Amino acid sequence: MRNFIFSTTVGIVLLCLSFSCSNLSVEKTKFDKIALSGFLSLDRDTTSIFLFDYFPEISVIDSITFSSACQSGTVVSSQNLTADETVQTVVSSQNLTADEAVQTVVSSQNLTADEAVQIVVSSQNLTADEAVQIVVSSQNASRLYVMNVWSNGEKGSVVMINRTAPSYDSGEPVIVTNSFASDKFSIRCVKNGVESFVVLWQNTVLDSNFYTLSDSSLTVTIPANAYKRERSYIRVIASNECGVSNDLLIPLSYGKVISQTSMLNRNDKQGMIMYFLMVDRFNNGSQDNDMLVADTMVLPKVNYYGGDLRGVIEKIESGFFDSLGVNTVWLSPISQNPFDAWGLFPEPKTAFSGYHGYWPVNNTQVDVRFGSDKVFRELIDKAHGRGMNVILDYVANHLHINSPTLQQHPDWKTPDTTPDGRPNFELWDEFRLTTWFDRHIPTLDLERADVYEPMTDTALYWIEHYALDGYRHDATKHIPEVYWRTLIKKIKARYPNRNVYQIGETYGSPELINSYVKTGMLDAQFDFNLYDAIMWTLADSWSGWASMDRIVKTINESLNIYGYHNVMGLVSGNQDRPRFISLAGGDLKPDEDSKRAGWMRDIGVGDSIFSYSRLKMLQAFMMTLPGIPCIYYGDEYGMPGANDPDNRRMMKFDGYSPMQQDVLNNMRTLIHLRKNSMPLIYGDLVQLFSDKNVLVYERVYMGEYIVVAFNMGDERRDVTVKEAVTGKEISVEVAANSYSIIR
């Protein structure tokens, strides 16, 4: 087995460290006072990036330097390199003509000719909005690089992961946090060995003065700079010839490793547990604002039910959310929607009201059927008083056709026909940035500055006027990237001290989803691909092909793309999908039209023994994997339903059946476990065992661990695994169609 590090420089590093002082500091820079830059994955021969996506608060870039992530931590500087060295930086600018390009050859003495990497950057006055093209020009290049971005003489670093190099299955390192002391913590490699690594405090790479090395561990000294910060982070990532490791995230409180969940607060995003409620379908707290759409074409199922913001306040005050254990409430859109009916469903024939909130007429006014400015402020205050966040669902992609904004600016709409003359409706992927969702909700042309500038200001209204904690953004992939960059730039500039969590909704490939998840765009999106893998595997009682392999593959894909400490949304369901329990129980067939089914018959649970046991397993996945658990209202007790609108029934707060109460108790237990477990919030994930029916993984944080096992077979399974922290073999027993957790 490879040592944690092997290099001829290691002995020198250790010699120097034996005389180092424990009160070490890094140079103070503005980069360490801003949000963490994400890791940059080089997935192709050429990767184009916007520097703004990594440092949105930085407006001017002086220059860029580059280094390989080697043992010595040497930073490459173009000023002391010769022309025959191997890393090439091509200097150019959007403001220069092709003839004015300047070429400078730079490199590190530790890089060989096979490790050539070309970076196309810009001139000395490059702004963060301009694109930087990175070219990996050799498949033998290092797996990890560091891009150092300089602004007014200060430096911030971005770790670049080179995924274009040859890969060897299952040979990449697995690293975990091991232990901590007053000013240090240690990391162990538990699988496959490490050849190189990068350690960052905030956005600064720590040099060899900050770590010591042994055969299988790395001890990191926390910089003294961290002692003055209420919250800062250390990140670690490693590699070997086979691949790149999982990344580690260690939260610090005034320079001390956070070891107890009592040290966290509602601003710690990894600790959020979200509850999504549809305001109209949750709780009616005031009948004074009940107002049906007075149109006989609207069937009751798609008219207003009377839920409102006062009803949410009642449930906050009654302790409903506290009893469940969630600490973040996500509200469906509350902006003013039309008073009349729109749209048409053929069978049964019905028009629709805007009860759901996704047809905004006025994006800066609380819908009178839900309450008022005063009531909304009261709701936020009540939630904050109980340590809860409030996230608002916001619609930026479109406006209702009768919106005063569109009446004043009819040219703000995208074309309702495609270039080849077809109607441009519901062409989700072919024309995703221009297609209309329906004829009465035109898509806005948000690629135009005269449209996205005022519309991002409109989005900011809710932060400016209310103490909101974040947004859930509807239809993210249908909105151009320039809108998201402009929005986050304004948030950072106008509200630098606000902790605003932004999560998007995109259906598509992980690569498409991740293209919006950057420091300068969104914090996260919902991981629908992982949900689909878990949901269809657990719900499948009919095909005989269901296998944990699909879940394992998708978990690994998500972690490699979004990071092992991502804040992606792990959903139990949502307003656009059939209820899990009805699919699992077989009352809703996987191959039928799930929307039509909800209109044509009463959809129930079906096989209750199977469906409730599988719902418990889904809940366990949500609460034990990295990411932010997000409960769709009613899923905590197993509300049945087909697709929209049948999945939007009125919430039930009592009168549960014994099985509903049992699954609700299961959810409460799991939430309590997650809220009080550092391994489940910040722990590293290590897969221990999997086969067709069984999956066992472990979450590890600072020597503390939790082992989670699932069995979707019809018989009990006993599995022996090697636990990562102690290295000892432990026996895991899992009942049929169930899960087990060992602490």
What is the total residue count of the chain? Answer: 743
Phi-psi region of 634 (alpha: psi -120 to 50; beta: other; left: phi over 0): left
CA 259, CA 180: separation in Å to the nearest integer?
A: 9
Write down the pLDDT at residue 47: 79
- Inter-helix orientation angle 658-675/608-624, to 10°: 10
**Cβ–Cβ < 8 Å for 71, 13:** yes
Give the C-alpha separation, 488 to 470, whole Å: 12
C-alpha 133/C-alpha 101 separation (Å) is 14
CB neighbour list of residue 426: distance below 8 Å, 6 or more residues apart: 435, 436, 437, 438
Distance from chain centroid for Cα 518: 10
Does residue 28 contact residue 119 with C-beta atoms inside 8 Å? Answer: no
Give CA–CA dist 251/636, Å, rounded.
Answer: 30
The rounded distance, in Å, linking the Cα atoms of 557 and 564 is 10
CA nearest neighbour of 472 among 382, 576, 550? 576
364-378: string of b/e by CB count within 10 Å (b at 16+)?
A: bebbebbbeeebbbb
User: Is 562 strand, coil or helix?
Assistant: helix
Residue 217's alpha-carbon distances to 171, 518, 678, 687, in angstroms, are 18, 31, 21, 20
Q: Are 677 and 626 in contact (CB under 8 A)?
A: no
What 3-state class would DSSP assign to 115?
helix
How is residue 436 written in tokens?
A: 């209309």
C-alpha angle 328/742/720, rounded to 5°? 135
Q: Which residues contact 472 (CB under 8 A, 6 or more apart)?
A: 276, 330, 391, 392, 393, 394, 503, 504, 505
Per-residue pLDDT tens for 107-157?
333 334 344 445 554 444 566 677 777 765 545 567 898 999 999 999 999
Q: Which pLDDT score is estimated for 125?
A: 56
Sequence-separated (6 or more) residues with CB below 8 Å from residue 30: 57, 58, 151, 154
Burial class of residue 288 in the structure, from the number of CB atoms within 10 Å of its CB (0-12 exposed, 13-18 middle, 19+ buried) = exposed
Q: How far apart are CA 548 and CA 290, in angstroms?
A: 47
Specify the amino acid at residue 239: S
User: Which helix (DSSP H) or strand (DSSP E) does residue 48 occupy?
Assistant: strand 46-50
Q: Measured between alpha carbons, how far is 238 from 50 in angstroms, rounded to an integer?
A: 25
Q: Is 48 exposed, middle or buried (0-12, 13-18, 19+ CB in 10 A)?
A: exposed
Q: Return phi, psi of residue 311, to 5°.
A: -65, -35
Distance CA 730, CA 717 (A): 14
For the full predicted model, state whether its pTM sits above 0.85.
Answer: yes
Vertex 472: Cα angle to 629 and 311 (nearest 5): 80
Q: Is 12 helix (H, G, I), strand (E, B) or coil?
A: helix
Per-residue pLDDT, 124: 46
Judge whether 425 and 414 are in contact, CB under 8 Å.
Answer: no
Q: What gap in Å lies between CA 474 and CA 488, rounded to an integer? A: 16
In 3D space, the residue among 740, 700, 739 whose CA is nearest the CA of residue 723 turns out to be 700
pLDDT-flagged residues of the chain (< 70): 1-22, 44-45, 69-128, 135-141, 164-169
pLDDT, tens digit, for every residue of 626-635? Answer: 999 999 999 9
Tell me the residue ranges of DSSP E strands in 241-388: 243-244, 248-253, 256-257, 274-277, 328-331, 335-336, 342-345, 350-352, 362-366
Residues 477, 432 contacting (CB under 8 angstroms): yes
Compute the CA torsion angle 144, 150, 153, 157 (nearest 10 deg): -40
Q: Is 388 exposed, middle or buried (0-12, 13-18, 19+ CB in 10 A)?
A: buried
One DSSP character per residue, 459-470 reads HHHHHHHS---E
How would you classify the pairing of strands 328-331 and 350-352? unpaired
Q: Give the Cα separation of 595 and 589 in Å (integer).
A: 12
CA-CA distance, 310 to 644, in Å (whole number)?
Answer: 25
Q: How far is CA 23 from each of CA 218, 223, 249, 702, rounded to the nearest angstrom? A: 18, 7, 22, 22
Cβ proximity of 594 and 642 under 8 Å: yes
How do strand 248-253 and strand 256-257 relate by DSSP bridges?
antiparallel
> Would you state the structure tokens that stand for residue 207, as one six-digit string?
């040099």
